[in-house]
Structure 1
Amino acid sequence: MIESLVEDPEVRIALERLRAHGDPEEALARVAWSVLAEPGDGVAGALIAEMGARDALDLAVGAGSRVRPGTRGRTLLEGQARWKPRADPRAVADAMSGAGDVDARLILPGDPMWPVTLDDLGVHAPTVLWVRGDPEILCAEPRVAIVGARAASAYGEMLAGDFAGELAAGGAVVVSGGAYGIDGAAHRAALGVEGRTVAFLAGGVDRAYPQGHQQLLRRIVETGAVVSEVPCGTAPTKWRFLSRNRLIAAVSHATVVVEAGWRSGSLNTAGHAAALGRPLGAVPGPVTSAASAGCHRLLREYDARCVTTPAEIRELWGGRTDAPEVAMRSDPDQVRLLDAITGRSALTVREICRRSGVAPEKVSAMLGVLELDGMVKRVEGGWQRAGGVGRRG
């Protein structure tokens, strides 16, 4: 499959238009995977992680006789049954030309503009990202997801706008899903203060969905980014919305649910954030309001933090305060973690856990917060104290 794509001059031209970094064959293989597999396909993700995108693609569309018997073999055969009907080189070429037509960029894992927080999804991480707008915003920090109900109340939209506007004015990147209600209010408020915002779509970036947000999404492309893991031409569907939610949670340093019903899709985003160890906030509403029942559920069942102001939202990801020393001393686990890290050599998360006695999940979450606060830095081989930060006695 890759051979026929590599030899196609139209495909080579389309790939150049997408300005993808790295090995062209690897890029083509990953584009092919975005066509073959549905978002979050863990079997495809595991295969790519083990073999690389190109070799995995050869196995995926190759003969079933190459698959060894056993449970793993059956899983792979089931995957092949899903992927082979889509194994059309023309579909891959069309995906790239469609992206080129709307001036989209192709971002691959390992690219300088790839948000590494997505890698926390493991085998469920996206194989590629299709981006319209400025892809560098995906790596700008901090990034905060503001999500909630489509059928939002005036109360919910007011708060979403107030929070997003002040956070964006302070330099945060506002992340949401481009939908009606809370999402739209958050995006518009960020744009209104000339801040940065990112919309993750469930369909291709060439499709404005919902239709009523065509102009809003166009404005986001001009100053921010519209992103999807599915190729151009792909229609948004219910399961793709649910899969899209994991990207919103993973790319963000914190997630805030402003308003949500008991079964709102926003709770799916919140669930992904909680599973990834990301800070999670929920805005309370009237106890009689069905539109806030989901937020109250998050506060009760998901250990979400109650947030009512932009300052409280900043606290979720460890935003700077007027007294960082006092804030650090108030959390003994953070003090133990900082005492375990030196400025001389890089330490892995496992070694930091051993030295500090803090659980791995909490260490990973706190390292992200401390990095944002300028107290630690990620280097080759692990983590170090940031320059100018001394040990706390």
Structure 2
Amino acid sequence: MHTIAPVSDTRLRAWAVLARAALTPAAYPRVVLATRAVAPDIEDAADRIGALVAEPGSGASIAELAACDLDRAERAGAWLLTPDEPAWAGLGFDDLDSRDSRYLDAPVAVWVRGSIDPVSVLTRVGVVGARAVSPRGAAITGQIAGELVERGVHIVSGGAYGVDVIAHRAALAQGVATTLVSAAGIDRVYPTAHLEVFDAVAETGAIISEYPPRDGVEPPRLLARNRLVAAMSRQLVITEAGVRSGTLATVRWARRLHRPVLAVPADFGAAARGCDLLIGEGHARPVHSLTEVLTALGETAEPEPRHPLAY
């Protein structure tokens, strides 16, 4: 069960309208203006925006689609987390708000399967990296994620092939909550091969998505997801990344949000050259042991054994 502040059905539906409108290009500028100062007149803004037609020729209004979103989410065991709820402030999304055009805006609200409680109270570390991960990268990812979990650190990742799913599985193997930020609708599994991981994450932790039920995956959404992983993480650990890896986009977001970035240096293979690039350009700090990860977090006050990584 998730812990939420009492929110009226009217206000919840208003947030659902604005969340749906944020996905509609014609309505998006109005949504931004309406939610810059989350005010008592959020319902009035939703009434105005909700009357707009969602897509040319569709005939359905944004308000009608939003009502369907809430109904489908309930059937899927999901719910809408809004800025009205105490947990919102601790998730880091508000750090995305900026007049700087380099930043995307914070999500209006997010859909959740699972419980937000462990996500909102624990130290969170994003562990991300290559999809086509090497055996070395897989071993290092499992080691870092597993040992962080043992020390009470909450793992955040994107549920993708490679490093992402290994990090999630390392937490699940210990029966510990983890957070999966999805680029698909909250009732969808992407990649479909990770169905058991998505279901297990929802049991103990949370799946979070900006996208309502039935929404599919589009390339821009894969990149948009990166900003939420970065925002939710107190620091980002890159265990392996190629020089053209989408992981580098997550690093850019983390740096803009002033989140420390750590990267495991490459060996003689090409799979992790993106890590060397980040380190060489000063965008990430090299990490050789779990102790260095904990020290960067401020989680270790005195020297510990180094726990060297499995190179």
Instruction: Write the mapping of 1:16-165 to structure 2, written as runs, cut at 5 A.
Output: 21-38=6-23, 44-50=31-37, 52=39, 53-60=42-49, 87-114=61-88, 115-122=90-97, 124-165=105-146
Question: Are the structure 2 counterparts of residues 18 and 280 from structure 1 closer, same or farther at C-alpha, using a change threshold of 3 Å?
Answer: closer
Which residue pairs with 2:270 in the alignment? 290
Q: Given that residues 80 and 109 in structure 2 are in contact (C-alpha distance below 8 angstroms), is that contact kept between their aligned partners in structure 1?
A: yes
The 1:238/1:39 distance shift into structure 2, 3 A limit, reads: farther
Residue number in structure 1 paired with 2:300: 320
Contact 2:21 2:31 in 1 (8 A): no
Q: Provide the C-alpha distance between the structure 2 equivalents of 1:20 and 1:249, rounded to a whole number of angstroms.
A: 26
Partner secondary structure for residue 240 of structure 2: coil
Change (3 A) 1:128 1:157: same
Q: Write the deviation string for residues 324-373 of structure 1: whole angstroms up to 9, x where unpaired.
A: xxxxxxxxxxxxxxxxxxxxxxxxxxxxxxxxxxxxxxxxxxxxxxxxxx
Structure 2: how far apart are the matches of 1:154 and 1:57?
50
Report how many aligned residue pairs link the two structures: 291
Report the equivalent of 2:101.
none
* Partner Cα distance (2:150, 2:24) in 1: 33
Offset at residue 302 of structure 1 (A): 4.5
> Which has the higher mean CA deviation after the structures are superposed, 176-185 or 135-144?
135-144
Instruction: Answer yes or no: is 1:219 the counterpart of 2:200.
Output: yes
TM-score by length of 1: 0.68
- C-alpha distance after superposition, 1:126-165 (max 9, x if no partner): 1112111121122122100000011111111111111000
- Residue 300 of structure 1 aligns to which amino acid in structure 2? G
- List gaps (5 residues or longer) in structure 1: 1-16, 64-79, 324-393
Between the aligned partners of 1:158 and 1:54, the Cα distance in structure 2 is 50
Q: 2:182 aligns with which of 194, 197, 201?
A: 201
Shift in Å at residue 50 of structure 1?
4.0
Residues 233-256 of structure 1: CA deviation (Å, up to 9, x unaligned): 111111011111101100111111
CA distance in 2, matches of 1:191, 1:39: 36
AA aligned opposite 1:220 = V
Q: 1:83, 1:51 → 2: CA distance?
A: 29
What is the CA–CA distance in structure 1 between the aligned matches of 2:254 and 2:282, rounded to whole Å? 10
Greater C-alpha Rg: 1
Separation in 2, partners of 1:235, 1:311? 40
Contact kept? 2:54, 2:61, Cα under 8 Å = no
How far apart are 1:202 and its partner, in Å?
A: 0.5
Amino acid at match of 1:276: L
- Check whether the contact 1:172–1:196 (CA below 8 A) recurs between aligned residues: no
- The alignment partner of 1:267 has SS state of helix
| Greater helix proportion | 1
1:143–1:254: 8 Å Cα contact kept in structure 2? yes
How many Å separate the matches in 2 of 1:264 and 1:43? 34
Listed as ranges, the gaps of 5+ residues in structure 2 are 99-104, 304-311
Q: In 1, distance between residues paired with 2:155 and 2:119?
A: 10
C-alpha contact 1:36 1:83 (8 A) present in aligned 2: no
Partner of 1:248: 229
Q: Work out whether residues 205 and 231 of structure 1, in 8 Å CA contact, stay in contact via their aligned partners in 2.
A: yes
Q: Answer whether contact 1:147 1:257 (CA < 8 A) is retained.
A: yes
Q: Tell which deviates more after alignment, 253-262 or 32-41.
A: 32-41
Would the alpha carbon gap of residues 99 and 275 (structure 1) be closer, same or farther in structure 2, given more than 3 Å must change? same
| Alpha-carbon distance, 1:200 to partner | 0.4
Higher relative contact order (CA 8 A, sep 6+): 2
Q: Distance in 1 between matches of 2:15 and 2:128?
A: 29
**For 1:35-88, what per-residue CA distance to the aligned partner results, in whole angstroms no more than 9, with x for missing partners?**
12239967633432147433433454679xxxxxxxxxxxxxxxx998997733
Task: Summarize the Cα distance change of 1:297–1:156 in structure 2 as closer, same or farther, 3 Å threshold.
Answer: same
| Distance (Å, rounded) in 1 between the aligned partners of 2:56 and 2:141 | 40
What SS does the aligned partner of 1:146 have? strand
Q: Does the CA-based 8 Å contact 1:169-1:194 persist in structure 2?
A: no
Instruction: Name the CA shift for 1:187/1:51 in 2 (closer, same or farther; >3 Å).
Output: closer
Cα RMSD of the aligned pairs, angstroms, is: 2.8
Alignment-derived partner of residue 343 in structure 1: none
SS in 2 for 1:245: helix
Which secondary structure does the structure 2 equivalent of 1:113 belong to?
Answer: helix
Work out the CA distance in 2 between the residues paired with 1:46 and 1:259: 39
Measure, in 2, the Cα distance between the counterparts of 1:102 and 1:18.
18
TM-score, with length taken from structure 2: 0.85
* Letter matched to residue 146 of structure 2: G
In structure 2, distance between residues paired with 1:213 and 1:62:
38
Between the aligned partners of 2:11 and 2:158, the Cα distance in structure 1 is: 29
Q: Structure 1 counterpart of 2:223, which letter? A: L
- How far 1:94 sits from its partner (Å)? 1.5
Among residues 287, 290, 293, which one is paired with 1:310 in the alignment?
290
